[in-house]
Homo-oligomer: A and B are copies of this chain.
Amino acid sequence: MSLKSILKISQADNVAIAVNLEGIPEGMWIIDGLISLEQVPMGHKITLEDIPQGGPVIRYGYTIGIARTPISAGSWVQEHLLEIPEAPALDEIPYHPVNWQVPEKLEGYTFEGYRNPDGTVGTKNILGISMSVQCVAGMANYVIDKIKKELLPLYPNVDDVIALSHHYGCGVAINAPAAAIPIRTIHNLARNPNLGGEIMVLGLGCEKLRPETITGQDAGNILYMQDESFTGFHEMVDAVLETAKIHLSKLNARRRETCPVADLVVGMQCGGSDAFSGLTGNPVAGYAADLIVRAGGTVFFSEVTEVRDAIGQLVARAADAEVAQKLVTAMKWYDDYLQNGLADRTANTTPGNKIGGLSNIVEKALGSVVKSGTMPIVDVVAPGERVKKKGLQFVSTPASDFVCGTLQLAAGMNLHVFITGRGTPYGLTMVPVIKISSNSKLANRWHDLIDFDAGLVATGEKTIEELGWSLFHDMLEVASGRRKVATDILGIYNDLVLFNPGPLT
C-alpha cells in the first residue's frame, strides 16, 4: 500500500485524509505503527495518534475540533466526535507588519481582451440590459428574446445579450442603512468589464430605486415603461429595440487586443466543497492566484463565513494595518448580521460538505482560504463595491454561491474560478466560470460540467505546482475566448442574486 492512501497537510496534524476512491478499509496498514480500526470513507479523516477526551483534533496545523471522547489512533473522525472550537475573538487579533519578500515578478504573459474606455478589460463582449425594478423583468425577457432572434445575428462580434435581472427596486425599505448594499451592487453590475461600458436601463417610472442611480455619472440610456409617449406594450418594445441597436453597434466595433495579465480580475470561489477541496482544488487555485498576482493582476476571494475561523491567518497576511482592521471589521459586521437573524457561523457547512468529510465550519474555512494563495492582502472591498487596486483582495460577501458570484461581478471580475468537490452546475452569463473538481471521481462522472481536474494531486499523479501552472495557462486561454468553459458550451447559468440584508416593505 502506497503512502498515498492518506494525505497529511501540516507537520503538526494528528489527523489525515483518506484519499483513495474506495476510502480506507478496516485493518489496513497505513503507516508504520498505524492500522485502521474501522472503515474510513474517501475524503474523511483518520486519526494518526491517540487523542484524549478534550484534546485538540489538528488539521492544517490548526485545532478544528475538541474530542468529545477519547479517539484511538486509526479511527474515523466522525462529525459527532468533535466539539466546535469558539470562533477566534475579533478584538484580540494582533497585527505585526510584515516585510513581504517580494516574489519574483512574472513577465511576458498576456491574453486577448476587449479594452474599455475606463481602463478595464473584458473577456466577453455582452450587451447587458439593466433594470431598476423586478416589475419590468417580464418585459426585459420579452425584449431579450426578440433581440436574440432579430438583432444579434446582425452584430456578429457581440457574444450575447443578457438581462441584469434582480428582485429589488421597490417593495423594499430603500432608505434603510442596509439598502446601500443592493443599490450599489445593481449600479456596479452594469459596469462589469464584460459589458463594455454600454449602460442601458429599463425602468418602470414609479419605483423606489431610481433608474438614474444605475447610470450615475456615466453615459447611458434609460427607458421608462410609464413614459406617457408610449401607447401600448409594442411601442415600448420597439423603443427598447432601437436603443439596443445603438449599444449593439458600439459593442460590435470592439476587437480583442493583447493585454497583460495585469488586466485580469479573477474571482475565486468554492461551492459544494468536500475535504479534498482544501487538499487539491483550493491549493491549485491558490497557486494560480499567486501567479496572477505576480504577473501584476488582480485576484479576490470572498465568503465571510468560510474565512471567519481563519481570520488570524488573513490578518497576518494584511499588507498594512488598515487592511488588517478592514478584515476584522468585515468579520464583525457579519457576526452581527448573523446574530441579528438568530444564527451564527455554524449555519455554514451543508449536508454535502459533511458527507464529503468536512466536520465543521472551522475545517471548511481552513481549507477555503487556501484558494487565496500566499500573497499579501492589499485591500478589503465591501459587498457591492468595485475593486480599486490590483493584487490580492478580500471582497466581503456571503458564502452563498450565486450571491458571492453576483457580488464578485459587481466588484469587477472578468474571470471566475470555482472549485467544487460534491459537484454543482454553477454558471454565470456575464463571465466565464472555470469549474475545478477537487477529486477525479467527480471530474470523470461530470465530464461535460467540469473544466479542470485537481484530483490528480491527491493521487500523486501531479503536483500542486504542475496543476497550478496548468490552471494559469487555462485561465489565459479562457480569458482570450480561445477556450469555452463547460457552462458556456451547454448554456446553463444561474440567476444574479442580490445580497439585501435590509427589510421588505
Instruction: Produce 1/0 per residue, A345-361, CB < 8 A to B.
Output: 10110111101100000
Q: Say yes or no: B348 contacts A206, CB within 8 Å.
A: no
18 extra interchain contacts, Cβ-Cβ under 8 A, other than A205-B423, A206-B352, A208-B350?
A134-B402, A138-B426, A138-B487, A141-B493, A167-B402, A170-B400, A170-B401, A171-B403, A172-B347, A173-B338, A173-B347, A175-B343, A176-B342, A207-B350, A226-B352, A230-B445, A338-B505, A398-B504
Number of copies of this protein chain within its complex: 2
Q: Say yes or no: B233 contacts A350, CB within 8 Å.
A: no
A251 contacts the other chain (CB 8 A): no
A11 contacts the other chain (CB 8 A): no
Q: A205-B423, A232-B445 are in contact. Are A400 and B505 (CB under 8 A)?
A: yes
Q: Say yes or no: A340 contacts B167, CB within 8 Å.
A: no
Assembly CA distance A263 to B432 (angstroms): 49
> Contacts of A503 on B, CB cut-off 8 Å?
337-338, 340-341, 343, 347, 501
A165-201 interface (Cβ within 8 A of B): 165, 167, 170-178
Report A416 CB to chain B, min CB distance, Å. 14
Assembly CA distance A305 to B503 (angstroms): 12
Q: Say yes or no: B135 contacts A445, CB within 8 Å.
A: no
A104 contacts the other chain (CB 8 A): no
> Contacts of A177 on B, CB cut-off 8 Å?
342
Of B176, B355, B491, the contact of A347 (CB 8 Å cutoff):
B176
Q: Say yes or no: B447 contacts A231, CB within 8 Å.
A: yes
Q: Which 8 A-B pairs give the minimum distances between C-beta atoms? A: A206-B352, A171-B400, A138-B492, A341-B503, A173-B343, A173-B347, A398-B504, A206-B422
User: Can you give 27 A-B contacts (C-beta < 8 A)?
Assistant: A134-B401, A134-B402, A134-B495, A135-B426, A167-B167, A167-B402, A167-B495, A170-B401, A171-B398, A171-B403, A171-B404, A173-B338, A174-B347, A175-B347, A176-B341, A178-B341, A178-B342, A204-B422, A206-B350, A206-B423, A225-B423, A232-B446, A233-B449, A340-B503, A341-B502, A341-B503, A343-B503
A497 contacts the other chain (CB 8 A): yes
Q: A135-B424, A137-B494, A503-B341 are in contact. Are A205 and B352 (CB under 8 A)?
A: yes
Q: Select from chain B the residue with minimum beta-carbon distance to A208.
A: B350
Assembly CA distance A340 to B423 (angstroms): 37
> Contacts of A207 on B, CB cut-off 8 Å?
350-352
- Give the most central of A425, A499, A502: most B CB within 10 Å: A425
Of B204, B231, B425, B504, the contact of A136 (CB 8 Å cutoff):
B425
A149 contacts the other chain (CB 8 A): no
Q: Say yes or no: A449 contacts B232, CB within 8 Å.
A: yes
Q: Say yes or no: A176 contacts B343, CB within 8 Å.
A: yes
Report A237 CB to chain B, min CB distance, Å. 9
> Contacts of A404 on B, CB cut-off 8 Å?
171
Of B139, B426, B447, B504, the contact of A492 (CB 8 Å cutoff):
B139
Assembly CA distance A174 to B351 (angstroms): 11
Of B165, B234, B425, the contact of A225 (CB 8 Å cutoff):
B425
Assembly CA distance A351 to B132 (angstroms): 13
> Contacts of A351 on B, CB cut-off 8 Å?
206-208, 210
Q: Select from chain B the residue with minimum beta-carbon distance to A172.
A: B400
Report A441 CB to chain B, min CB distance, Å. 9
A399 contacts the other chain (CB 8 A): yes
Assembly CA distance A233 to B445 (angstroms): 9
Q: Say yes or no: A204 contacts B138, CB within 8 Å.
A: no
Q: A138-B493, A142-B490, A206-B356 are in contact. Are A423 and B226 (CB under 8 A)?
A: yes
> Contacts of A398 on B, CB cut-off 8 Å?
171, 504-505
> Contacts of A272 on B, CB cut-off 8 Å?
135, 204, 206
Assembly CA distance A411 to B136 (angstroms): 25
A92 contacts the other chain (CB 8 A): no
Q: A401-B171, A505-B399 are in contact. Are A233 and B490 (CB under 8 A)?
A: yes
Q: Say yes or no: B232 contacts A448, CB within 8 Å.
A: yes
Q: Select from chain B the residue with minimum beta-carbon distance to A361.
A: B505
A228 contacts the other chain (CB 8 A): yes
Q: Say yes or no: A343 contacts B138, CB within 8 Å.
A: no
Assembly CA distance A96 to B427 (angstroms): 57
Report A446 CB to chain B, min CB distance, Å. 7
Q: A424-B204, A491-B142 are in contact. Are A167 and B338 (CB under 8 A)?
A: no
